[in-house]
Structure 1
Amino acid sequence: METTTMVPATALTVEAENADPKSQGRLALSARRKKPFRWALWSTLTVIGLFAFLPIYWLAVTSVTPNDQVFAYPPSLVPTEVTFEHYVSVFANPAIFGYLKNSIIVSVVTAVLSVVVSMYMGYAFSKFRFRGRKSLMYFVLSSQMFPQALLLVTLYVVFAQFGLLNTYQALIISFTTFTLPLCVWMLKGFFDALPDDLIEAAKIDGAGPWRTFHSVILPLALPGLVAAGLFAFVRGWNDFMFALTLAGPEKQTLPPGLVNTFIFEASAAWPALMAASLLVSAPVCIAFIFLQRFLVGGITAGAVKG
């Protein structure tokens, strides 16, 4: 009785390709084409990585460099001597904690207020049909066409007349005004992605419009709400021009506060400023790390055309 030997199909394929000169030529040509593509891809990623992370690395290096070596020539990418006295000086400065408190108050209130207002506006634009809806939508969007610096003088005069200069209210109102258009359109796009069948099902179950929105729609819109809130928070945290102009020394946030603390008329404490900049950037970086999933989902959903 003859014994039959089973040969795997993959082995037969390899043998066939090895026996066929044309197949070998196609494989060699494909390998030669992929090699330059891989080199180009990795080169592009390397350039982008250096462009993004080299300033951060230089910031960290400067923050641990002694004062007498900051302007050494030629500059060194690796510090020859490391010191943490600049971080100690930042923590020992009580004014920094005052600026930090102001930034937290202004940024958190701006984020909450922007989300609360924009979620109702975005939902109304998305699920309701009324006269002038499209005109109002584009009117909200058109406010992004003008540079925000043009409004600085006007806002300064208005806040001065109402006695709001050098207060938290002036900064919160300004930042909320600038963040609302993008937040509204972001959440509108997110609400557009939610099917209307959810609203109809809630009506059948006896839920009213307010109950439907707060109990059914908002839990599903959590990624969009987080994305809008994070955008508004970063806008309030990073602003320099309005915080410097509309707020006095007691209400200034971190960006103008750090400049006034470490940059003087004829000199600047660059290592201490770099150390403070790294420390105050940590909360935003941590927020992005933990909320990245919600942020990406919210921005992606907000990109849906409505």
Structure 2
Amino acid sequence: MSTLKRLTQPRYVLAIGIAIVVAVNLFPFYWMVLTSVKPGTELFSNPPRFFTTMPDFGAYVRLIESTGFLTYAKNSVIISTGATLLSIAVSAMAAYGLTRFKFPGSKAFTTGILYAYTFAPIVVVVPLYGLFRDLGLINTYGGMILAYASFGVPFSMWLLRPFFNSIPKELEEAAFLDGANRVKSAWYVVLPQATPGIIAVSVFTFLLAWEDYLFARVLITDTNMKTLPVALHDLQNASLQDWPLLMAAAALVSLPVLLAFLYLQKYLIAGWGAGAIK
């Protein structure tokens, strides 16, 4: 009875609830990795096996040797990183300006930026294709980076505004008294204080480009320029029966995102906490 009473205490109920939520969310990833290393005799066993004693990593070898997975991964890294850097650079300057300088229509401008982000990508992808075709940006890293940045900047700027608002203006005023100009005070005083928020927003901006399928499908026609979401979709259509190969590709696509969240979680927590303080 004492054990039952202990388990019904709020902290134990909360811990059990968290464990259940974590297990439910991690199980699909576990099953994906498990399927990628299962031998053929265990793939469709009935009842299904939730572990294997004979892991087979042949699907990963076939994925690397018989497909252009490494090329597609390189494309995704270059495009996602470039789009993130451009989005954060522009949105950080915009968020800083909106929080430090007041001008007529500033609130309307900020709201308009948020509305721009609410447009569905399918609405702009066709005219964007025509524009990029005329500018020669189809099948280029620069074109893809600009396309993702066009959606990443409004998103990033809106999220960064609370972080810059939470930084006391008195810190900059003290820097001005010490002889710093606006640029130096922003670079040496404001940006270091906003680093947790910038890292948090960078993660989400990176995922925006890393996981996108629509823009990559429309703006890329060269096979060697494909990104991972497009390659994964094409691999599914070409390998309907090769589930270990497909699951191996899906696991490798998901792994960097999982590792990034695990490594940067302290910055994410600090960033969102700092952004909530005004």
TM-score, normalising length from structure 1?
Answer: 0.82
Of the candidates 239, 257, 263, which is equivalent to residue 237 of structure 2?
A: 263
Q: Which moved more, 1:147-156 or 1:97-106?
A: 147-156
The amino acid of 2:158's aligned partner reads W
Q: Is the 8 A contact 2:7 2:13 kept in 1?
A: no
Q: Which deviations, in whole Å up to 9, do the C-alpha atoms of 1:125-144 show, x marking residues without a partner?
A: 11111111101000001123
* Separation of aligned partners in 1, 2:88 and 2:67: 32
Q: 1:152 to 1:73 in 2, by over 3 A?
A: farther
Equivalence for 1:144: 117
The size of the alignment, in residue pairs, is 275
Cα drift, residue 103 of structure 1: 0.6
Divergent runs of 4+, >6 A: none
* Aligned twin of 2:33: 60
- What is the aligned partner in structure 1 of residue 255 from structure 2? 282
User: Would the aligned equivalents of 1:110 and 1:236 in 2 still touch at CA under 8 Å?
Assistant: yes
Distance 1:66 1:220 in 2: 51
Report what 1:128 is aligned to: 101
- Quick one: distance in 2 between partners of 1:229 and 1:38? 33
Distance 1:223 1:80 in 2: 43
The correspondence for 1:299, drawn from 253, 272, 276, is 272
Q: CA deviation at 1:200?
A: 0.8
* 3-state DSSP of counterpart to 2:273: helix
Q: CA deviation at 1:189?
A: 0.6
Query: Could you say which residue in structure 2 is the equivalent of 1:82?
Result: 55
Question: Equivalent residue of 1:165, what SS?
Answer: coil
Amino acid at match of 1:254: L
2: CA distance between counterparts of 1:56 and 1:297?
A: 27
RMSD of aligned Cα (Å): 2.4
Are the aligned partners of 1:118 and 1:180 in contact in 2 as well (CA < 8 Å)?
A: yes
Name which of structure 1's ranges 194-203 and 245-254 shifts more when overlaid on structure 2: 245-254
Determine helix, strand or coil for the equivalent of 1:263: helix
Per-residue deviation at 1:149? 2.4
Contact 2:114 2:154 in 1 (8 A): yes
Describe the shift of the 1:88–1:110 C-alpha distance in structure 2 as closer, same or farther (beyond 3 A): same
1:284 CA drift (Å): 2.3
Tell me if the contact between 1:168 and 1:247 (Cα under 8 Å) persists in the aligned partners: no
Distance 1:35 1:184 in 2: 44
Shift of 1:243: 1.1
Larger deviation, residues 240-249 vs 106-115: 240-249
Tell me, in whole angstroms, the C-alpha distance in 2 between the residues paired with 1:174 and 1:300.
30
Letter in 1 for 2:225: K
What are the ranges of 5 or more consecutive residues in structure 1 without an aligned counterpart?
1-27
The Cα shift of 1:80 comes to: 5.5
The separation in 2 between residues aligned to 1:261 and 1:286, in whole angstroms, is: 24
Q: Which runs of 5+ in 2 are unaligned?
A: none
Residues 35 and 286 of structure 1, relative CA distance in 2, 3 Å threshold = closer
Q: Which amino acid aligns with 2:232?
A: L
Instruction: Kindly provide the amino acid, as one letter, of the partner of residue 84 in structure 2.
Output: A
- 1:175-206 deviations in whole A, cap 9, x for unaligned? 11222122112221111111010111111111
Q: Do the aligned partners of residues 98 and 34 (structure 1) sit closer, same or farther apart at CA in structure 2, a change above 3 Å counting?
A: closer
SS at match of 1:71: coil
Aligned amino acid, residue 263 of structure 1: N
Cα distance between partner residues in 1 of 2:40 and 2:157: 47
The DSSP-based 3-state class of the residue aligned with 1:92 is helix
Distance 1:246 1:303 in 2: 38
> Does residue 205 of the first structure (1) align with residue 178 of the second (2)?
yes
- Output aligned runs, 1:94-133, within 5 Å: 95-133=68-106
Deviation at 1:79, TM superposition (A): 3.0
Name 2:168's counterpart in structure 1. 195
Q: Identity of paired residues, percent? A: 35
